């Protein structure tokens, strides 16, 4: 049995959740470049997401963003998802595109605005009930731009109160995950800037509340894998929003900017038991494909996650621990780096084929003609909801 053979059972369990918004046209504040065949409905987004799963076997779940994703009949949407071979996952709320939220939402100084934002989340929970989704993800654009603009202390109390009201409406199997981000769109302070603040809030809420770690939401140089280790240790890592960045919240393809960082994160996931299907860690992507084709962009992303997972699983932990306890600094480092430098692509290709998947999902999708087909079929209409 090769070292790779020993990790295939774990690889087979990997589930990555893709974001519905990755299939729409997105861009910067300078220009949004269109692409032919862009989904005009949530159903078409699901059809595209299903392609990613069909070619990789890695992405059977699709995260929604409400109200970007809005349908009259949620049951019909979840039936359609099953028809195309995926299921609906996390519901992301949206309190950042409404005039009333100019000065915040769940942390706003006005109780009426806070109530409106709470009600929005209760609506999300109703949708989750219908589609069978377990996770409500909250990311807040709340914050201030200037020192003195708001009472940052009281806003924490208002936020805690709002979150408690939402939490009280969760079903027994449902969870709340609170995402943090240290800047943007607010630039002086945000109300949930870091993992510690998110952790403080979710801990106060209870055992159904967790932290969401978006890899693009940290100051440059932050040791993200340390945060992963800590949250797993505390039992509060609910989900990842994976993407990669060179400068800020770039939302580029995960593993593109810094594969080694992704490897280090995956190693800490392994170390903390996060790959155990019962760990409750949801591995989501939160990306935008501005200039590349969306579906191949997502295929590349899930394959990057798979490759770095495989390498992380190849770390010889017995040898590593021996080197660590012997104080063998360079020996330990070499064991770690050996796994990182292992090219797993050939093994993964053969393993995929043995499971009835294409050895090279990127190539197989390219040759399928799906992009040309949707470009031809999807004429008329406007693209399905998207923002930010």
Residues that bind Mn ion (CB under 5 A): 214, 241, 249, 286
Minimum CB separation from ligand PSV for residue 245, in Å? 11
Under DSSP, the state recorded for 62 is E
In angstroms, the CA 177 to CA 213 distance is 9
- Of ligand PSV, Mn ion, none, which one sits near residue 92, judging by CB under 5 to 8 A according to partner kind? ligand PSV
Residues with Cβ within 8 Å of 156's Cβ and at least 6 positions away in sequence, in order, are 107, 191, 197
CB of 243 to ligand PSV, least distance (A): 8
The distance of closest approach from Cβ of residue 142 to ligand PSV in the complex, given in angstroms and rounded to an integer, is: 12
- Take residue 112 and report the two structure tokens written for it: 């009426």
Q: How far does the chain reach from its first CA to its final CA, in angstroms? A: 48
Instruction: Report what 388 binds from Mn ion, ligand PSV, none; CB cut-off 5-8 Å by kind.
Output: ligand PSV
189 Cβ neighbours under 8 A, 6+ residues apart: 143, 144, 152
Residue 172 to residue 134: CA distance in whole angstroms: 9
Paired tokens of 346: 């050939």
Shortest distance, position 186 Cβ to ligand PSV, whole Å = 11
Contact between 299 and 56 (Cβ < 8 Å) = yes
- Least separation in angstroms between residue 216's CB and ligand PSV is 7
**Closer Cβ to ligand PSV, 53 or 287, answer by number:** 287
In terms of CB distance, is 142 or 347 closer to ligand PSV?
142
Find the shortest distance in angstroms from Cβ 207 to ligand PSV. Answer: 23
CB count, 10 Å around CB of 54? 21
Burial call 327-340: b when 16+ CB within 10 Å, e when fewer: eeeeebeebbeebb
Task: Choose from Mn ion, ligand PSV, none: what does 191 bind? Cβ within 5-8 Å by kind.
Answer: none
Integer Cα distance of 217 and 322 in angstroms? 35
347 binds, among ligand PSV, Mn ion, none (CB under 5 to 8 A by kind): none
- The angle subtended at Cα 69 by Cα 65 and Cα 71, nearest 5°, is 140
Identify the CA nearest to 112 among candidates 100, 121, 123, 124: 100
Considering the complex, state which of residue 26 and residue 35 has its C-beta at the smaller distance from Mn ion. 26
- Residue pair 107/142 in contact by the 8 Å Cβ criterion: yes
Residues that bind ligand PSV (CB under 6 A): 92, 139, 179, 181, 214, 241, 249, 286, 388
Residues 144, 220: Cα–Cα separation, whole Å: 21
Nearer to Mn ion, 286 or 347 (CB): 286
93, 66 Cβ separation under 8 angstroms: yes
162 touches, from ligand PSV, Mn ion, none (C-beta below 5 to 8 Å by class): none
Nearer to ligand PSV, 139 or 275 (CB): 139
If the CB atoms of residues 10 and 134 are measured against ligand PSV, the closer one turns out to be: 134
CB nearer to ligand PSV: pick between 26 and 261: 26
Residue number closest to Mn ion, CB atom:
241
> Shortest approach of ligand PSV to residue 80 CB, angstroms?
23
Q: Which does 194 bind (CB under 5 to 8 A by kind): ligand PSV, Mn ion, none?
A: none
Binds 294, which of ligand PSV, Mn ion, none (CB < 5 to 8 A, cut-off by type)? none
**From the CB of 144, what's the least distance to ligand PSV, in Å?**
17
Pick between residue 137 and residue 352 the one whose CB is nearest to Mn ion: 137
CB 324 within 8 A of CB 332: yes
């Amino acid at each position: 049995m090769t070292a790779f053979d020993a990790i295939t059972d774990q690889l087979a369990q990997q589930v990555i959740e893709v974001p519905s918004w990755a299939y729409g046209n997105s861009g910067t504040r300078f220009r949004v470049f269109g692409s032919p065949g862009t989904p005009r409905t949530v159903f078409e987004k699901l059809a595209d997401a299903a392609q990613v799963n069909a070619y990789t076997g890695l992405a059977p779940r699709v995260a929604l963003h409400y109200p970007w994703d809005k349908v009259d009949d949620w049951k019909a949407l979840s039936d359609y998802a099953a028809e195309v071979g995926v299921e609906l996952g996390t519901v992301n709320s949206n309190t950042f595109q409404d005039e009333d939220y100019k000065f915040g939402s769940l942390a706003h100084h006005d109780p009426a605005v806070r109530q409106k934002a709470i009600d929005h989340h209760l609506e999300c929970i109703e949708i989750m009930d219908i589609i069978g989704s377990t996770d409500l993800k909250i990311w807040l654009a709340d914050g201030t731009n200037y020192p003195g603009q708001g009472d940052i202390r009281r806003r924490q109390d208002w936020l805690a109160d709002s979150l408690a009201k939402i939490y009280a409406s969760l079903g027994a199997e449902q969870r709340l995950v609170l995402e943090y981000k240290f800047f943007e769109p607010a630039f002086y302070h945000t109300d949930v800037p870091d993992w510690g603040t998110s952790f403080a809030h979710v801990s106060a809420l209870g055992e159904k509340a967790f932290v969401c770690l978006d890899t693009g939401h940290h100051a440059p140089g932050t040791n993200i894998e340390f945060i992963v280790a800590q949250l797993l240790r505390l039992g509060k890592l609910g989900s990842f929003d994976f993407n990669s960045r060179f400068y800020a919240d770039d939302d580029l393809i995960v593993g593109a900017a810094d594969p080694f960082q992704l490897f280090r994160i995956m190693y800490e996931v392994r170390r903390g038991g996060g790959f155990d299907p019962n760990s409750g860690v949801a591995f989501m992507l939160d990306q935008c494909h501005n200039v590349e084709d969306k579906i191949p962009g997502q295929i590349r992303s899930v394959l990057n996650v798979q490759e770095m997972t495989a390498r992380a699983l190849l770390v010889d932990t017995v040898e590593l621990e021996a080197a660590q306890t012997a104080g063998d600094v360079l020996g330990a480092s070499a064991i770690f780096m050996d796994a990182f430098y292992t090219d797993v692509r050939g093994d993964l290709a053969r393993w995929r084929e043995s499971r009835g998947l294409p050895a090279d999902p990127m190539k197989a999708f390219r040759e399928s003609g799906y992009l040309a087909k949707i470009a031809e079929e999807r004429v008329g209409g406007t693209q399905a909801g998207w923002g930010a």
